[in-house]
Structure 1
Amino acid sequence: MKNISSVLEYHDRTKHRPHAYAASLGYMDWATQPDPYRRYHGAPLISLIHSEVTPPYHLLFQKDALPIAPLCIESLSMLLRYSLGLAAIKSHGGSSWALRCNASSGNLQPTECYIIAPAIKGLSEGSTLSHYAPREHALELLHTYDETLKEGSFLIALSSVIWREEWKYGERCWRYCQLDAGHAYQSIKIAGRMLGWECEILPSDTEEIGHLCGLDQYHRFHPHEIESPDMLIRIGKSNTSTLPITPSLPYRANTLSPAHHEWPILERIEKATQGIYPLPPPLHPTRDVPNPSKSAIDVVLKRRSAQMMDGSGITLEQFRTLLNASLFCTHASDVHFILFVHRVEGLEKGLYTYLRTSDDLETLKHAMDENFSWKDLGKGLYLLRSGDFRGAAQMVSCNQEIAKEGAFSFGMLCNFSSSLETHGAIGYKNLYHQCGAIGQMLYLEATSLGLSATGIGCFLDDEFHALLGLRDQQYQSLYHFTIGRAIVDTRITTLKPY
């Protein structure tokens, strides 16, 4: 109960409110901007292979449409390249910066990736622990195990360098780190589908994940740049769940910033949300197969966060396709959408809800404004109230115009109190991972349709809940989003990343 109290304290404290946003420095301290690339001094660097041959995007969603690739250096390279690798280099006014395949709040990229794999020719003759270096598209070899891991599968561990988001966003940053971890997981899942691979999150103890990757060897890290274990993912099929034992590692992590600002509540929420990773009950939807598409590489590498939308509309078919795509995130069953529909052909303007599972229909009706109409439009979509909600969408999104200039925007409304009751404090972390995974999926689906999307982490929590008539913490919105057509800044040059 103590840990849940810490979650509730953190969640309330880091809400944005009209009169005061969550605590942060309030300015960008450029002298301490974190290095976006983690490296381990002295670790052998194994270059990975670049491949630009990927299957059509739409085949990723057809069962058994693609052959299962063998685990080799080529396939592992492809998985990492199109999940966590660099997507493009942007340049403007003498400055340049890298974008990655996995979306990140402020492009700060707190997520780090570790691979635990059996012997792979070109990597090692033994089972290994390695760290992915996206700038070089290479693996840093951290350890070769004495014991041999079973063939047929391998593990990926994700962790977060909280400081990278803390530098800009202050106390609310922990929320964004968890969303980014969800984005990264879904990126891995999609890239795995290119290879015919299935991936699943294992119900592992975060303490064990930390030990497996050497993250609990704190002397190897700057004390303000510790990595927090998030989740352990298995790629492929295997009956074993025994983790290898990782000894003390000789490689020290690079220091990311010369100085740091402390936010003590971040250490408290991170400690509170450790434990056995929960697995919510999966969805079993009928996933509509997208229309024939371009190669998956053209979708993954062209995903962007729009900075401005042009105010144009989309078709009803596109809208339905986007909603349906979210169901591919089968373990994100605690998340529903509250939609501000502005410009969708065939739908009147208004406030809608999209239930990703019908289980919550009656409880949501009871929890929200009793005057909502709940007009059933089929396949989980309900009209709550007709009208022009562009002003409300902008207001709750910290007055960002992009929320009203998209074709629609929405908040991800989560089963909040029940998740904490069922899973404990770590359920809070899991909810953000669910939202982040859905966000990554919708980024890709929008890109495949010739549209653009933007995740919105800055929103007025309680004002959004009040708009819905929510009176308690049974449901809470944890991530907002907008989809439409972007206005492209032609002053910015796009270069190939490698």
Structure 2
Amino acid sequence: MKNALDTVLAYHQRTKHHLQGYAAGPGELDWKNQPDPFRSFVGSPQLELPLLAAAPHPPYADLYTPGKIAPQALTLNSIAALLELSFGLSAWKQYDSARWALRCNPSSGNLHPTEAYLVSAGCNGLEDGVHHYVSRDHLLEQRCRFDTATDGSERILPPGSFLVGLTSIHWREAWKYGERAFRYCQHDVGHAIAAVRYAAATLGWQAGVLSTWGDAEIGAILGVDRDPDFGAAEREWSDTILLVTASAPGCAADAPSRAALMNAARRGQWLGHANVLAAHHSHRWPVIDEVAHACAKSATQETSWRPPALPEPAGNAGAHTAVEIIRQRRSAQAFDAIAPPLPADTFYRMLDMSLPRRAVPPWDAIAWAPRVHLLLFVHRVDDVASGLYLFLRNAGIEAKLRAGLNPDFEWVRTQGCPAHFSLFRLVAADARNAARTLSCHQDIAADGAFSLAMLAEYDTSLALGPWAYRQLFWEAGMLGQVLYLEAEAAGVRGTGIGCYFDDAVHDLLGIKDTFIQSMYHFTAGAALEDTRLQTLPAYAHLERDMRLSERDADGTIRSITPFIIRTDSR
């Protein structure tokens, strides 16, 4: 019988795409049983949230200057703003009769396996307890009502704080991507962590992953371990939980009491039952449950890593507000292959924002040193020769990489880049065909200004425990979110690429073992817009549905506004 680490290692190898064939997937999509993209809990009390007002919002550049944005008061309005900017809808797209939602947090295939929960105590206008966020209608469903009167001897949460819990519904991704879906769910968790941290920063708040907590504790607090509440519905798996504090960077935040929260959840009144997302599952992928169990995390000790002191970020963050950048983020579907080159300062700015800085989002949300580095395919960047480059986010890995990669690589330091960069040219060449081929023959990897592969310190990370496998994907997803927003601020566009030929990337580098593994690809450039698509406001349907609904004789509101969901856009 394999132990947990062997199960994780076997899963990663089994779910690699190869030039000779792809990882196991459904082949043809069962469109009649496409999963509902919105989880809800029938019978849970609902609280409609206010939408963001059209008031002035902080400049995007201010997010990166600690203390620049004054902390807003912790109110229902500010909590609603955080949820809208991290998990809410950003727009609807429509083509003929098909209509599908886009969200502020990107997702592989626009399938959105990540569910968000709010744990509150002491916030005016919001009952103490556990609440599930429904992005479609921008509302909270109360899953658990805490009985705080039973025992007031221990505070459930520190003053001025709340928790955001993240879970995954693996079936949403497996429906389309088969066995590789677990990887994509973890990418999306990373995107979600960064999305919460950015949204908190717009309010002048802090947000950080409670990295010592175990999955079982998180599952008990969020209620995803409650079998009767799910029944035949697709289950959710605990991922992580973040502490959000309405205070400025540098103000120490008290840790919440796990024992108090567990007691409150046990004593609380649980409400509602999960909806079934698909009536029929045409395929079964037992390896996903196997790796999910193998990756389960127990409580661990706190880490003490702190990022090094770095100069102010390079380049210009643009004139847009943070809210504008977050809301306009899209995944490019195609790039203009003859667009002007990307300015070097813009390119360096995007790389610089991938480096952790003290009290700067989103990297202050996690407590571990960088384990993921960037293999860059530079196509069209001013004053940067086309070729293959390596950008190290933690310089301590340089000696090991020099010894473990192709001995013919140049390792030339890039002239003109910021002095604190560890940016090396490995090969000077036209890298477009290589980028296209390695990213499953997709033109988007070759037609932009640059593309990249995210290389993880694989063996040393998994030595911490099988659960670190998930964290590598989270870090890659966070990198993706940074690059998405930075691309928007620069007037271009990015897109994540989950389909790539794993070992072909490693062969390009001359890697003979598993000390480095590719975890995610990304590309950026001048996007080509599909003019056939109509863009609709994110929440206009709430008002329209009220106008187009009618009340049945028993008083039930029956909506007559249909919608159809597609999965080919983030």
* TM class by smaller structure: over 0.9
2:224 counterpart residue number: 215
CA distance 1:223–1:61, change in 2 (3 Å)? same
2:83 counterpart residue number: 80
SS in 1 for 2:241: strand
When the two structures are superposed, what TM-score results if normalisation uses the length of structure 1? Answer: 0.97
In 2, Cα distance between the equivalents of 1:293 and 1:427?
38
Q: CA shift at 1:285, angstroms?
A: 5.0
User: Is the Cα–Cα contact under 8 Å of residues 340 and 350 in structure 1 kept in the other structure?
Assistant: yes
In 2, Cα distance between the equivalents of 1:71 and 1:494?
33
Q: Given the alignment, which residue of 322, 325, 349 partners 1:296?
A: 322
2:376 counterpart residue number: 339
In 2, Cα distance between the equivalents of 1:359 and 1:334?
10
2:20 counterpart residue number: 19
CA distance 1:492–1:222, change in 2 (3 Å)? farther
Counting only pairs closer than 5 Å after superposition, residues 32-431 of structure 1 correspond to structure 2 as 32-51=33-52, 52-53=54-55, 54-124=57-127, 127-147=128-148, 149=156, 150-202=158-210, 203-223=212-232, 225-236=234-245, 237-242=253-258, 243-245=261-263, 246-247=265-266, 249-260=270-281, 261-276=283-298, 281-284=305-308, 286=310, 287-288=312-313, 290-311=316-337, 312=339, 313-328=341-356, 329-330=362-363, 331=366, 333-377=370-414, 378=419, 379-422=421-464, 424-431=465-472
Q: CA shift at 1:239, angstroms?
A: 3.7
Q: Report the AA paired with residue 348 of structure 1.
A: A
In 1, Cα distance between the equivalents of 2:65 and 2:121?
29
In 1, Cα distance between the equivalents of 2:256 and 2:432?
52
Q: CA shift at 1:250, angstroms?
A: 3.5
Give structure 1 regions of 4+ aligned residues with deviation exceeding 4 angstroms.
Answer: 277-280
2:526 counterpart residue number: 485
Q: Report the AA paired with residue 126 of structure 2.
A: L
User: Is the Cα–Cα contact under 8 Å of residues 231 and 277 in structure 1 kept in the other structure?
Assistant: no
Q: Which moved more, 1:208-217 or 1:233-242?
A: 233-242
CA distance 1:292–1:309, change in 2 (3 Å)? closer
In 2, Cα distance between the equivalents of 1:10 and 1:111?
21
In 2, Cα distance between the equivalents of 1:262 and 1:388?
42
Q: Report the AA paired with residue 257 of structure 1.
A: A
Q: Report the AA paired with residue 479 of structure 1.
A: Y
SS in 2 for 1:414: strand
CA distance 1:16–1:212, change in 2 (3 Å)? same
User: Is the Cα–Cα contact under 8 Å of residues 283 and 333 in structure 1 kept in the other structure?
Assistant: no
User: Is the Cα–Cα contact under 8 Å of residues 317 and 489 in structure 2 kept in the other structure?
Assistant: no
Structure possessing the higher radius of gyration over alpha carbons? 2
Cα deviation 1:130-189 (Å, max 9, x = unaligned): 010111111111122123533221111100000100100000000000000100110000
User: Is the Cα–Cα contact under 8 Å of residues 91 and 97 in structure 1 kept in the other structure?
Assistant: yes
User: Is the Cα–Cα contact under 8 Å of residues 92 and 537 in structure 2 kept in the other structure?
Assistant: yes
Q: CA shift at 1:283, angstroms?
A: 3.1
Cα deviation 1:117-139 (Å, max 9, x = unaligned): 11222222xx2210101111111
User: Is the Cα–Cα contact under 8 Å of residues 89 and 96 in structure 1 kept in the other structure?
Assistant: yes
SS in 2 for 1:172: helix
Identity level (%): 39
User: Is the Cα–Cα contact under 8 Å of residues 14 and 22 in structure 1 kept in the other structure?
Assistant: yes
In 2, Cα distance between the equivalents of 1:69 and 1:154?
14
Q: Report the AA paired with residue 118 of structure 2.
A: I
Unaligned stretches of 5+ residues in structure 1? none
User: Is the Cα–Cα contact under 8 Å of residues 449 and 525 in structure 2 kept in the other structure?
Assistant: yes
Cα deviation 1:419-457 (Å, max 9, x = unaligned): 0002x1000001000100110111011001101001000
CA distance 1:200–1:277, change in 2 (3 Å)? farther
Unaligned stretches of 5+ residues in structure 2? 149-154, 246-252, 357-361, 540-570
Q: Which moved more, 1:225-234 or 1:281-290?
A: 281-290
2:152 counterpart residue number: none
User: Is the Cα–Cα contact under 8 Å of residues 15 and 460 in structure 1 kept in the other structure?
Assistant: yes
